[in-house]
Amino acid sequence: MSFDTTELLGLPCIMPAQAQKHVTHNEALRRLDALVQLAVRSRSLTAPPPAPAPGERHIVAAGAGGAWAGHDGEIAAWLDGAWTFFTAHAGWRAWLEDERKLLVRDAGTWSDIAPEQAPKFGINTAADTANRLAVKSDAALFAHDDQTPGSGDMRVTIDKAATGNTGTLIFQTAAAGRAELGLAGNDDFTLKVSADGETWREGIKLAGDGQISLGDPVNFANIVPPLSALPAVSIGNNDTARPTLGLQAATDNNAAGTRFDFFRARGTLSLPAVVAENDTIAAFNSFGFDGAAYRQTAAIRFVADSTPNSGVSCPTRISFMSGETSTIERLRISSTGVVQPGADNAQDLGSSARRWKDIYAGNGAIQTSDARAKTQLRALEPAERHVARSLSRLAGIYRWRSAIEVKGANARLHIGVTAQDVLSAFEAAGLNGFRYGVLCRNPCEPSSIPSTEDGESSLTHRPTNERLGVRYDQLLVWIAAGFEDRIASIEDARQ
């Protein structure tokens, strides 16, 4: 302490044998009253306020004039009707009333007492080493800077160290995660959800090249045949195992209407390469759960019919597939419009329960009759010749019962035979008619068999869960053989 004043606050000291000691003492109290528990009205004024209250204090702003000239950064106090100035030293603190901030004097300037860097900070809750910034509030606002002023923008940045790290926002219910948004262990932007905070499912993924995947990757390892893990829906994926899928939906008056567009190429999206023969352009695949695994047993596929002619054509066929344990091609429409079965001589067109009504064709049916596909022809045996002669007598006129129900008496007349009569002709000769290709029997629903209460049909002696049929191409050859046998008998008799 100096001889006259204290070192820090500059309080006047009472000297030995000093007269009017109360004056010195009161001056010290006056300074203490102005500086202890320091609170100032402002720090932005460069001129004294016009009507200060007794004891009112300010931090003089830079460039002050008038009674405050030359006192920048000092504390100005209105005491006893005049401004008194105090020089602040390092470490002095002051409460700034108009900004509601606590200031500290350091390095010759006043600064906010809140440090620029703090190891952790909590607002209405305790921060910890894991959550260095913790806020407990009904709401939080990040607003644009309209004081400095700023640009009017507002941007929050989450920065992670490397691709394999995570930078996300997590949304919780009762401290258990329910949704996560951001870069989770890679540089793909994902939205994940969880029902229990433990198992997470990917809802949306945006890859760095702008491609979108919808749905969590599904494990298809138990599917026959096995497939790799794929998103439930993929749009524009650059993986060659998941070709680009374009979806377009129209709500205007365009006649084309809503549609699905599939785009397929080899190579990559940026460098597409020509597809090759038998490449699948697109496919609709169905998977049913059989109790143990998801099994694919039906599909519609669009396949390159041949290698495209660059800039000219891309021949494509459509394959319809079905099966019981796997997919088997059943029907094919070639790029030239030819409708073909999925395999040669392996499947039927229609059935006894589901028959085609009429078939319109420009030419008759062509059946394979190549001798190389048949055994050596043999002559008809006596019993078979007897059947051949009998079959020619079975022709008669009839009407379809189903047509009568619709057209009544106008139902058209037809000529033909009944399968039951043909079967009876074989049985009369001691032969099993179903041993020959002329007769067919197939299971069907009992309801598809017409009623025979009128007694006009011989269906009553056949099971009601099968429908009988005749191959007319075979029947006509039988009848022709019968005619030939009769003619030969007449010629032999004349000789």
Contact 203, 214 (CB under 8 A): yes
Q: Are residues 387 and 337 in the same domain?
A: no
The DSSP result for 415-465, as a single string, is EE--HHHHHHHHHHTT--GGGSTTEEEEE--GGGSPP-TTS--SGGGS-TT
Q: What is the pTM assigned to this prediction?
A: 0.55
Same domain, 390 and 478: yes
Residue 63 Cα distances to 43, 44, 45, 47, 48, angstroms = 12, 10, 9, 9, 12
Q: Name the strands in the sheet holding 294-304, side by side, starting at the edge strand that comes first in the sequence.
A: 280-289, 294-304, 316-322, 328-333, 339-341
In a domain, 324, yes or no: yes
* 383 and 343, same domain (yes or no): no
Structural domain for 56, as ranges = 37-112
Phi-psi region of 452 (alpha: psi -120 to 50; beta: other; left: phi over 0): alpha
Does 330 reside within a domain?
Answer: yes
Same domain, 340 and 388: no
**Is residue 191 situated within a structural domain?**
no
Q: What CATH number does residue 465 fall under? A: 1.10.10.10
Decide if 254 is inside a domain.
no
Q: Are residues 389 and 335 in the same domain?
A: no
114-134: average pLDDT: 86
Secondary structure (3-state) at 371: helix
Q: 3-state DSSP call for residue 294?
A: strand
What is the β-pairing status of strands 39-40 and 93-96? parallel
Is residue 440 within 8 A of residue 420, CB to CB? The reply is: no
Question: Is pLDDT at 408 greater than 80 in this prediction?
Answer: yes
pLDDT per residue over 15-58, tens digit each? Answer: 766 667 666 666 665 666 556 778 889 999 999 999 999 888 89
Enumerate the H helices of 51-118 as residue ranges.
Answer: none
- H or E segment to which residue 478 belongs: helix 472-494
Specify if 72 maps to a domain: yes
Q: Which of the residue ranges 69-73, 203-207, 442-446 would you say has the lowest mean pLDDT?
A: 442-446
pLDDT at position 125, please? 94
For residues 288 and 386, membership in a common domain is answered with no
State how far the Cα of 243 lies from the Cα of 205, in Å rounded to an integer: 16
> Is the N-terminal amide bond of 225 cis, ω within 30° of 0?
yes
Radius of gyration of the chain (CA): 50
Tens digit of pLDDT for each residue in 50-95?
A: 999 988 889 999 999 999 999 999 989 888 888 988 888 888 888 8
Give 283-294 pLDDT, tens digit per residue.
999 989 899 988
Band the pLDDT of 232: cuts 50, 70, 90: very low
Residue where one domain finishes, among candidates 62, 89, 112: 112
Report the candidate in 446, 452, 448 with the shortest Cα–Cα distance to residue 420.
452
pLDDT of residue 75: 87
Phi, psi of 477 (to 5 degrees): -70, -40
Q: Quick check: is 365 in a domain?
A: no
More confident residue, 141 or 233: 141
Q: Is the pLDDT of residue 14 over 80?
A: no
**How many CA atoms, within 13 angstroms, populate the side-chain half-sphere of residue 67?**
14
- Domain C-terminal end among 112, 137, 156: 112
- Are the C-beta atoms of 295 and 223 separated by less than 8 Å? yes
Reported residue count of the chain is 495
Residue 385 sits in the same domain as residue 490:
yes
In a domain, 401, yes or no: yes
Co-location of 339 and 394 in the same domain: no
> For 450, what's the count of Cα atoms within 13 Å in the CB-facing half-sphere?
14
Indicate whether 299 and 397 sit together in one domain. no
Residue 373 DSSP symbol: G
Instruction: Write the burial class of residue 76 (CB in 10 Å: 0-12 exposed, 13-18 middle, 19+ buried).
Output: buried
Q: Is 256 a residue whose pLDDT tops 70?
A: no
Per the model's pLDDT, the better-predicted residue between 216 and 135 turns out to be 135
Q: What is the pLDDT of residues 457-490, one digit of tens each?
A: 444 455 567 888 999 999 999 999 999 989 988 8
Domain boundary among 350, 368, 403: 350
- How far apart (Å, rounded) are the C-alpha atoms in residues 59 and 410? 115
DSSP state of 480: H
- Assess whether 344 and 382 both reside in one domain: no
Contact assessment for residue 352 and residue 443, using Cβ atoms and an 8 Å cutoff? yes
| Per-residue pLDDT tens digits for 359-379 | 898 898 888 888 998 999 999
Residue among 333, 340, 298, 339 at smallest CA distance from 315? 333
CA dist., res. 481 & res. 383, Å (int): 13
What is residue 490's three-state secondary structure? helix
What is the average pLDDT score of the chain?
A: 83
Number of domains composing the chain: 3
Same domain, 389 and 476: yes
Q: What are phi and psi of 202, to 5 degrees?
A: -80, 125
Domain match, 420 and 316 both: no
In a domain, 209, yes or no: no
How many whole angstroms separate alpha carbon 243 and alpha carbon 139?
44
